[in-house]
Chain A
Amino acid sequence: MRISTLLYTCKQGFKNIFRNKMFSLATIATIAACVFLFGIFYAIVVNVQQSVRAAESSVAVTVFFDEGLSQEQIMLIGDEISKRPEVASVVFVSAEEAWDSFKVDYLGEYADGYEGDNPLEGSENYEIYMNDVSKQSSLVSYLETIDGIREINRSDATANILSNINTVISYVSLAIIGILLAVSLFLISNTVAMGIAVRREEIAIMKLIGAKDFVVRSPFVIEGILIGLIGAALPLIALYFIYSNLILYVKDEFAVLDDILKFMSIEDFFSRLIPIALILGVGLGFLGSMFTVHRHLRV
């Protein structure tokens, strides 16, 4: 293809957007609505998941040792536990550390009277953090088989709630993605039908004076891609403002929730959302225009 044909094609694609303003606006609005809904949904999923993961990582199984176990034996047990796949990290807490944090948490300034001796003698332990809290039971039954372990403290309730939330999120995600896809397809096919009516005659004329399919199709495809880009960019801008303001609003007004809700930073969120949104918008625009033109090339 000649350079001048290529330039002409791009220029026509650009001009097409303005030739059928109503159609362009309708398509941009459709794509923007799809991307916007997707963005909102994505923000919810990502942040809930992040909060759940943060909560998960603070759930620990604590193990205490038989009296008189040597430091080496304790270290051996620690090594064995870290080898398990569901274990994220194993932290050793000495009796002194356990007492120190107990004092801070429960006694405050009244701790002075205990100066000198440690009432929690023999309470050194491992705090075991997990990748996946739903595996807690299997970890505990493994720990029960290890010699030298006196006691295992587990937090069943929290672990169950968290793993239930995870399951619910994945089902709800699937359902919403399905609904969104169906809605997008419905909207796009409507706009495409409208485009077909507008373009039928024009495409026929081009073909009758000898234009190749490629020459007829290219400007429409470029138009579709441009419309897809605009349709993705607009909701991205809107989502940026909504997201950043929402974070500030929740932090200000609902300080209580701050511990539970771990918002993803706006940079992280958008570095994930932008590529997905652009692919979604451009893909919808591209497919829509290919489909519109294809049906009319047989003249």
Chain B
Amino acid sequence: MISLESVSKSYANGVPALNDVNLNIEKGEFVFIVGDSGSGKSTLIKLLLRELTPTSGRIIVNDYDLSRLSRRKIAKFRRSIGVVFQDFRLLKDRNVYENVAFAQRVIEVPTRQIKQNVPAMLSLVGLAGKYKAKTRQLSGGEQQRVALARALVNNPPILLADEPTGNLDPRNSWEIMKLLEEINKRGTTVLVVTHNREIVNAMRKRVITIRKGVVVSDEEKGEYIDED
């Protein structure tokens, strides 16, 4: 489903963010990506969405070779991926409902169906009562849940989540993780970047650890590894 072959990424100012990364993630897997701040986790997510292109190496996602994607195919490719961005990236001057509905507009779901899907999704993430609120008036945790609802509403085959519980209290974090596990059980491949040691250790999933742009450990039923 996702494969990286000796992928490196340096930013324009010369900062090397990822260095010779090789990864293979199969369809239906649930994977945690962990690592210290600045280790290159978000860079990895951005590469998988083709928001960035690698300096060298090859990335294949959902049978698309990302280095050979024409401009028109990029849009089509991105629709097969649900993303929760670390900084949410919500449309600020639209309300909660419109933000989630927009993902459905993009794939041309009929309005009648959108009116059923969006409220259902919002109550799943616990935001049913806030659908009219402008997103800039929401708390960090609420914005995070809107971003999650938008990522999930199209039922994508792949979900990339960059710290989807970073702004949530332990109880809400657990609820969201359970939701992601549930979605994974229905067949979606899930990649979660997180700093939440307790959850990682309790869920016993595959854990990939990145340190300074290098994959230092990749274990089934792994644990959160500290830098030492």
If A19-B93, A299-B51 touch, whether A208 touches B108 (CB-CB below 8 Å) is no
Which B residues between 69 and 97 are near A, CB-CB below 8 angstroms? 71-72, 75-79, 81, 83, 85, 89-93
Shortest CB distance A19–B (Å): 5
Q: Is A207 in contact with B75, judged by CB distance below 8 angstroms? A: yes
Q: Is B111 in contact with A209, judged by CB distance below 8 angstroms? A: no
Q: Given A210-B106, A211-B102, list of 20 further CB < 8 A pairs?
A: A1-B108, A2-B110, A5-B105, A5-B108, A7-B111, A8-B111, A202-B91, A204-B89, A205-B91, A208-B49, A208-B51, A208-B78, A208-B83, A208-B89, A209-B79, A209-B83, A209-B103, A209-B106, A211-B75, A212-B72
- C-alpha spacing A20/B35, complex, angstroms: 40
Q: Is A213 in contact with B75, judged by CB distance below 8 angstroms? A: yes
Contacts of A205 in B (CB 8 A): 89-91
A206 contacts B by Cβ under 8 Å: yes
Among B76, B90, B92, B110, the residue within 8 A (CB) of A210 is: B76
Q: What mask results when residues 235 to 253 of chain A are scored 1 for a CB within 8 Å of chain B, else 0? A: 0000000000000000000
- C-alpha spacing A206/B98, complex, angstroms: 12
If A208-B83, A210-B76 touch, whether A215 touches B106 (CB-CB below 8 Å) is yes
- C-alpha spacing A7/B108, complex, angstroms: 12
Contacts of B72 in A (CB 8 A): 212
* Identity of the chain B residue whose Cβ is nearest the Cβ of A298 in the assembled complex: B71
- C-alpha spacing A206/B94, complex, angstroms: 13
Nearest first, the 4 A-B pairs at minimum CB distance are A210-B78, A210-B79, A4-B111, A211-B106
B133 contacts A by Cβ under 8 Å: no
27 CB contacts below 8 A, A to B, read: A4-B112, A5-B105, A8-B105, A8-B111, A19-B93, A202-B91, A202-B92, A204-B89, A205-B89, A205-B91, A206-B91, A206-B102, A208-B51, A208-B78, A208-B83, A208-B85, A209-B79, A209-B106, A209-B150, A210-B76, A210-B79, A210-B81, A210-B106, A210-B107, A211-B102, A213-B75, A299-B51
Interface residues contributed by chain B, number (CB under 8 Å): 27
* Identity of the chain B residue whose Cβ is nearest the Cβ of A7 in the assembled complex: B111
* Identity of the chain A residue whose Cβ is nearest the Cβ of B113 in the assembled complex: A4
Contacts of B91 in A (CB 8 A): 202, 205-206
Q: Is A209 in contact with B110, judged by CB distance below 8 angstroms? A: no
Q: What mask results when residues 200 to 230 of chain A are scored 1 for a CB within 8 Å of chain B, else 0? A: 0110111111111101000000000000000
Which of A2, A202, A205, A209 is most buried by chain B, counting CB atoms within 10 A of its CB? A209
